[in-house]
Chains A and B, each alone.
Chain A
Amino acid sequence: MRFMYTLRARKAQQSIAYGVLWLMAGISVAIMLLVVGYVVIEGFGKISLDFFTTSPRGGLSGEGGIYSTIVTTVLLVVVTMFIATPLGVCAGIFLVEYADYVKNKAVAFLVGLARFGVETLAGVPSIIFGLFGYALFVTAMGLGFSVLAAAMAGACLVIPVVIRTTEESLKTVPDSFREGSLALGASRWETVRKVILPSALPGVTTGLILSVGRIVSETAIFYVTLGGSYRTPNSLLSSGRTMALHVFYLAMETRAFDKAMATGAVLVALIVILNLIVNTISGRLSSEMK
């Protein structure tokens, strides 16, 4: 009897735990759906072809579309990744493939510092990078509020992300590949270039796309480096506003809250697409490994 009782109690506990976990998970998902759904439903009604092809007209009414902000966003992403990709990927390769063989004590210390820095910087709020970018690129270097200054600040923001994801994906490549290549008389660089990097490429690409997503969605850092001009930038030294920044301006400084929602919906769609790409790549990665 006693045994039956505990069994029933354990079964009851199991049911309750299952129910609570299910409920919590359900609520979490519902909240996310509510946010995204609200933006999409509110926003998509306002979207038309004109919305994409006309620029904002400025002023309190918030008239116009988002053409110039799309251009600015794309330009900013391209310039930022142009700076961040070689720096971040190469640093990641160095940290994983070479840093442990550094004999010089001073360099080894710097490597340790870099590792610590990369981990710390990945968690620093973006506005801090913005302040840094404002002080150095916008003011001291005299670039003013510009795509170039914003891209340099943005690169500072995503380089730690690129380094981290590059490191992670290099570490997933089995050491047996490295040994196999080195034992055939390949140099370390030949091993990296011909065996390690091709295997790590999907992971590295994923990191780069996540960084693109970050640039697209960040606001604070660009508020203090990109300025806020609603005109289409005609050079790297032009001020501008990204879509995310445009949402902020529309919501805070105009009466066109619906336009803010519409821009938000476009942003959400863009982020969804980027994540789908990431999923496709990592899905291909895991199926190749089998």
Chain B
Amino acid sequence: MNEPRIKSIDYSLYYGEFQALRNITVDIPRNRITAIIGPSGCGKSTFLRSFNRMNELIPSVRTEGRVLLDGENIFEQEVVNLRKKIGMVFQRPNPFPKSIFDNVAYGPRIHGRKDKSNLARIVETSLKSSALWEEVKDDLGRSALSLSGGQQQRLCIARALAVEPEVILMDEPASALDPVATLRIEELITTLKENYTIVIVTHNMQQAARVSDYTAFLLTDEARAGNLVEFGPTKEIFTTPKDKRTEDYISGRFG
């Protein structure tokens, strides 16, 4: 395994008094797809949202331990720069009520790209990378809200790609989509790993098995705090898990 892109070291997170994540230490490999799986409420989304510090939107959240991006502590970085480097795609497609073009150009504009032809090029590249270009190229001025759910999600991926991140976090990106749209998103994710490190949260174990290279399995302990049970290559996690609880979970005995 090459030098990890993200490392979490003894990372814990609290909502007020309640501990939601306990001492999680894991290495997220570079240019691979890492899936985070686990039953509902095990803290997988919370863990994912730690990497781009989205948990800080909740005023009561407090963290311990460290998370490193390329060896640098993310909590010591300017959050705006961190989120430029670590993009995110959400559970429900959340395009802004703007045109397709303005949605994709939103990030680059924020980060100071004003030049029109430059922006147009970024928008085109991003939409091509997210496999939406062919469907929308004739009318980029149309409202993003007029797209179907699957198209909206691919637009949100394009929007994330447009700021040229190194890592893309995906929080159950297909859970609100129909099977066909889901398949397209999964294909897209697989093509994206050449250039990006991808971390995906999913409650769909088949999806984890289909798309990911590595899998982290989270489970709550007696105090309902999320723990990392096992991390390894997806193949090993799904065929020869080392932990009994992992085996129980992937064979569908609970969760």
Binding site for B on A (CB under 8 A): 100-101, 174, 176-187, 190, 194-195, 198-199, 288
Partner of A185, one of B83, B94, B97: B83
Q: Judging by beta carbons under 8 Å apart, are A177 and B111 in contact?
A: no
Q: Judging by beta carbons under 8 Å apart, are A185 and B81 in contact?
A: yes
Q: Judging by beta carbons under 8 Å apart, are B163 and A185 in contact?
A: yes
Q: Judging by beta carbons under 8 Å apart, are A184 and B96 in contact?
A: no
In the assembled complex, 28 residue pairs joining A and B whose CB atoms fall closer than 8 Å, in A order, are A176-B90, A176-B92, A176-B94, A177-B94, A177-B97, A179-B90, A180-B96, A180-B159, A181-B96, A181-B106, A182-B83, A183-B52, A183-B54, A183-B87, A183-B160, A184-B83, A184-B87, A184-B159, A185-B82, A185-B84, A185-B110, A185-B111, A186-B80, A186-B106, A194-B106, A194-B110, A198-B97, A199-B97
Q: Judging by beta carbons under 8 Å apart, are A174 and B94 in contact?
A: yes
| Chain A residues with CB under 8 A of B106 | 181, 184, 186, 194
Partner of A182, one of B54, B92, B97, B163: B54
Q: Judging by beta carbons under 8 Å apart, are A180 and B156 in contact?
A: yes
Tell me the smallest distance from the CB of B232 to a CB of chain A, in Å: 28
| Chain B residues with CB under 8 A of A176 | 90, 92, 94
| Chain A residues with CB under 8 A of B81 | 185
| B252: interface (CB < 8 Å) | no
Binding site for A on B (CB under 8 A): 52, 54, 57, 59, 80-84, 87-88, 90, 92, 94-97, 106-107, 110-111, 156, 159-160, 163
Known: A100-B59, A182-B54, A182-B57. A187 touches B80 (CB 8 A): yes
Complexed CA–CA distance, A101 and B88 (Å):
22
Complexed CA–CA distance, A194 and B96 (Å):
10
| Chain A residues with CB under 8 A of B107 | 184-186
Tell me the smallest distance from the CB of B1 to a CB of chain A, in Å: 28
Complexed CA–CA distance, A182 and B156 (Å):
13
| Chain A residues with CB under 8 A of B54 | 179, 182-183
Closest 9 pairs (CB-CB, A-B): A176-B94, A185-B84, A185-B83, A183-B88, A184-B107, A180-B94, A186-B110, A185-B80, A100-B59
Q: Judging by beta carbons under 8 Å apart, are B94 and A179 in contact?
A: yes
Tell me the smallest distance from the CB of A37 to a CB of chain B, in Å: 42
Nearest A residue to B159 via CB reads A184
| Chain B residues with CB under 8 A of A180 | 90, 94-96, 156, 159
| Chain B residues with CB under 8 A of A101 | 59
Complexed CA–CA distance, A177 and B95 (Å):
7
Q: Judging by beta carbons under 8 Å apart, are B110 and A190 in contact?
A: yes
Tell me the smallest distance from the CB of B180 to a CB of chain A, in Å: 23
| Chain A residues with CB under 8 A of B160 | 183-184
Q: Which of B84, B94, B107, B111 has the most chain A CB atoms closer than 10 A to its own CB?
A: B94
Tell me the smallest distance from the CB of B94 to a CB of chain A, in Å: 4
Nearest A residue to B102 via CB reads A194
| Chain A residues with CB under 8 A of B111 | 185
Tell me the smallest distance from the CB of A70 to a CB of chain B, in Å: 39
Q: Judging by beta carbons under 8 Å apart, are B97 and A179 in contact?
A: no
Tell me the smallest distance from the CB of A281 to a CB of chain B, in Å: 16
Tell me the smallest distance from the CB of A22 to a CB of chain B, in Å: 40
Tell me the smallest distance from the CB of A178 to a CB of chain B, in Å: 8
Q: Which of A101, A178, A184 has the most chain B CB atoms closer than 10 A to its own CB?
A: A184
Nearest B residue to A186 via CB reads B110
| Chain A residues with CB under 8 A of B163 | 184-185
Q: Judging by beta carbons under 8 Å apart, are B110 and A288 in contact?
A: no
| Chain B residues with CB under 8 A of A183 | 52, 54, 83, 87-88, 90, 160
| Chain A residues with CB under 8 A of B94 | 174, 176-177, 179-180
Tell me the smallest distance from the CB of A284 to a CB of chain B, in Å: 13
| Chain B residues with CB under 8 A of A178 | 57
Complexed CA–CA distance, A174 and B156 (Å):
16
Tell me the smallest distance from the CB of A83 to a CB of chain B, in Å: 31
Complexed CA–CA distance, A11 and B106 (Å):
59
